[in-house]
Structure 1
Amino acid sequence: MQRYIDEIVRTSVKPQSNSSILFNPRFMEWNDCILLDMGEKNDLPQEFVADSIIHDRTGFEASENHLHINDFISTNEPYQLLHVGLDVMRIWGTELKREYPDAPFHLILSFDGDECVVRFHVYRIAEGAWINLDSLDKYNEGLMLEEI
């Protein structure tokens, strides 16, 4: 991840009109989960039910609470996506701790040189982390995890 961060180019980016969720996020509680409030785009089941793909609430949150920065920012500089992703990670972390001061969170940023994804989940001791913390350097893309 550090090699990607070292390549960040400080040029201007053009947020799209739907980018407020990146820089002014709203959160909601649902069925013992904390989720990004996507308004009308929240298409949630009646309740959480584990299945063969999503085994627990941690996995559900990590799946529901991820956004591709590329969908919100127009730039020809891939490293600008990383720059924006780092800003989003900081903003989300600040807002999550303000709204849920007693909940521990994992914020995760992934970047492969072309796409940047930011996600979060509540850290639940009984479920563990969504990604293997001991092998972040072994993933194909660059990963950054912040515990707050």
Structure 2
Amino acid sequence: MLYMNKAMEEIVSTQIIESYNNEINSILDKIVQKTRRIQDSVIFDEDEIDESTIDFERIFKFVDDWTGYEISCNEIRIEKSILSSNQYVTFANMLHEMLKNKYIDKKFVVYICLNDNYIEVRFHTYRENEGFWLNENLNIYRNPILYVC
């Protein structure tokens, strides 16, 4: 399912989805290839961190739950020149599908948020007891944002 706030609707509603280029496919592949399981989470791990060095007790002083942990690890910034506004929805859908295919026992939520100079992509495992990272009423946020679940 796709959800977006009014700010994002204004950007994508007038756009035509264009085909992807190799650079975008490469970004999607890299994101998914660099994910791995850490405990009950799926983490984008560019640095191949040693799980035994993660201090979860300290982390959970700053985040409330596993969703907070995942969302803080799974932030990818993409230059606006690489991904055009007519590709946001398809990009989010493709990343969502690729994560589901790699981790068939998990449900995911993929977010795209536009900032001044970059596109912020984040994702987390959906857990019934934790819910979504953001408020389901996306219109409370000023920045254009969408999510796929």
What are the Cα deviations for residues 64-88 of structure 1, in whole angstroms up to 9, with x where unaligned? 1111112xx6x3x9x72x4454443
Give the number of the structure with larger relative contact order, counting CA–CA contacts within 8 Å between residues 6 or more apart: 2
One-letter amino acid of the structure 2 residue matched with residue 127 of structure 1: E
Provide the residue aligned with 1:144 in structure 2: 146
Q: Mind listing any 5+ residue stretches in structure 2 that lack a counterpart?
A: 1-7
Provide the residue aligned with 1:94 in structure 2: 97
Alignment of 1:1-148 (within 5 A): 1-6=8-13, 8=15, 15=23, 20=26, 22-24=27-29, 25-26=32-33, 27-38=35-46, 40=47, 42=49, 45-49=53-57, 50-70=59-79, 75=81, 80=84, 82-112=85-115, 114-133=117-136, 135-147=137-149
Change (3 A) 1:95 1:13: closer
Indicate the RMSD between aligned Cα atoms, in angstroms.
3.1
Q: Mind listing any 5+ residue stretches in structure 1 that lack a counterpart?
A: none
Provide the residue aligned with 2:4 in structure 1: none
Identity of aligned residues (%): 22
CA shift for structure 1 position 93:
1.1
CA shift for structure 1 position 23:
2.2
* Aligned positions, number: 136
Give TM-score, length-normalised by structure 2. 0.72
- Find the residue that maps to 1:108 and give its secondary structure: strand
Give TM-score, length-normalised by structure 1. 0.73
Q: Is the 8 A contact 2:109 2:124 kept in 1?
A: yes
Counterparts of 1:107 and 1:117, CA distance in 2: 11
- Find the residue that maps to 1:126 and give its secondary structure: coil
Q: Moved runs in structure 1, 4+ residues, more than 6 A?
A: none
Provide the residue aligned with 2:5 in structure 1: none
Counterparts of 1:116 and 1:93, CA distance in 2: 16
Q: Is the 8 A contact 1:69 1:84 kept in 2?
A: no
One-letter amino acid of the structure 2 residue matched with residue 103 of structure 1: K
